[in-house]
Structure 1
Amino acid sequence: METMCCMENEEQRQILQRFFKTGKGQYGEGDRFLGLKVPQTRMVVKEARLQVPLGEIEALLYSEWHEVRLCGFLLLVEEMKAALPKRKGIGQPDRRKEIADFYLLHARQANNWDLVDLSCSYILGTFLLHPLSDGSLPTRMILDSLSSSRNLWEQRISIVSTAALIKERQYDDTLRIARKLLHHPHDLIHKAVGWMLREVGKKDIEVLRHFLSAHHTSMPRTALRYAIEKMKPEERKRWMATSRTGNQIGRTNE
């Protein structure tokens, strides 16, 4: 914390406060920044990784400073990496569960999109891929519970966490959560849903096309644009041309 405070940068602070929408009525209202760039925070994490107990990480997560909270979440990412199986071993399943439970307990402290996106798939998503100590896999209903939350950031965690599953060509959870969040009122969820659908398409374009065939006429246009971003221009035009116009529900001042 002291190290990070010594790196304060007023000019960068002002840029970050605008970029992360900290003004009155915006999604990041009241968030405070030291003015550090992510590589600077990662440098601190690299020096402290695997040396900070969960009790101290908790204190970081409840800091008033955005970058300090990010540091706490990135330290959790490192803890999860260390608990993963090495080659054919099982790793540390009890430790993985402890870290995932800790993350879920404090998930609302990831109260801006970068804090979510830089942590959830590497912690929760990774946790869901590996067996518990009894050999069973963690329940994916964790994602459904998060998607049903009234908290914007927990809802974003529910869909972005599936990035880890997509890498393993497991798409069902992404598609299920995407359907649940498809008509969410907030633009940040539209973007996250579209982003994850795009990641599915990068692995299997036919899975994405099948989803779009069923839902593209009712999708928020932001989600649709994100989902088809990697398609060829001609195909993108066809999807956009056949989508319903004016369905951009819940526009924000982002």
Structure 2
Amino acid sequence: MSVLDFLSGGKIQEIEQNVSSSFTKVKQDTDALYQWVSFLYQQNKQLSDENAALRRLTEEQKLAVNELKVIVTHVPKSAAEIKQIVDAHYSFEPVISRIRHIEQKLELLEMRQKPSPLVEHHASVQTVQQASSHPAPIQHAPVHIPVEKGSSLREKLMRKIARNSKEYVKNLVMGLVHKYSRIGALQLREMIVEEQGLCSKSSFYRILEEMEDENKLNVVSDGKHTIYVAAQH
């Protein structure tokens, strides 16, 4: 077959069509491959982000577990320990209140101080006059509060345990009030203080006062005894 016969037979056009079709298929395959690569890249990135988030969550859970271990070691395991914690909580309140009162008085004195020598002289004269007209107050020995050495985490945990121990007693009181509908203060004291020994009498009555202030309990007096009922909200 001559070249002219080949060209006249439409072979070139057929070749062009075959080449164009091949390139189209290659382009389609390339586009599909690119889409798969992009999809796999996004999947890999998403998995990497999720893996990093899981690692952070694991570290947070480890810290939480360690904190729980510390809490468990300090959780009161008997009624006597709960009583000791609740009583200790209330025993420090007068001392803390007195310290805050002294701090307020010091702040007030600092605010009244003036840089003028005349005012300072006038203030000193007033102080001498007041001292001569009023007896000197009794000097109390400084109150020493033993502080156990430890980390701030331990102190926070101990405060949290004390608060939870007090809330435990409050919840027990509420449970008894709901159970009997009406119950006397003496009956509550007998059950909580004398039978279970969860706190002292003074701490018990402080807890009842707090529950009254928090509108958790209502007082109904029969003339002789104090009766408690659950507050209606």
**Is the strand fraction higher in 1 or 2?**
2
Specify which structure has the bigger relative contact order, considering alpha-carbon pairs within 8 angstroms and separated by 6 or more residues. 2
Instruction: Please report the TM-score for the alignment, with normalisation by the length of structure 1.
Output: 0.22
Instruction: Please report the TM-score for the alignment, with normalisation by the length of structure 2.
Output: 0.23
**Is the helix fraction higher in 1 or 2?**
2
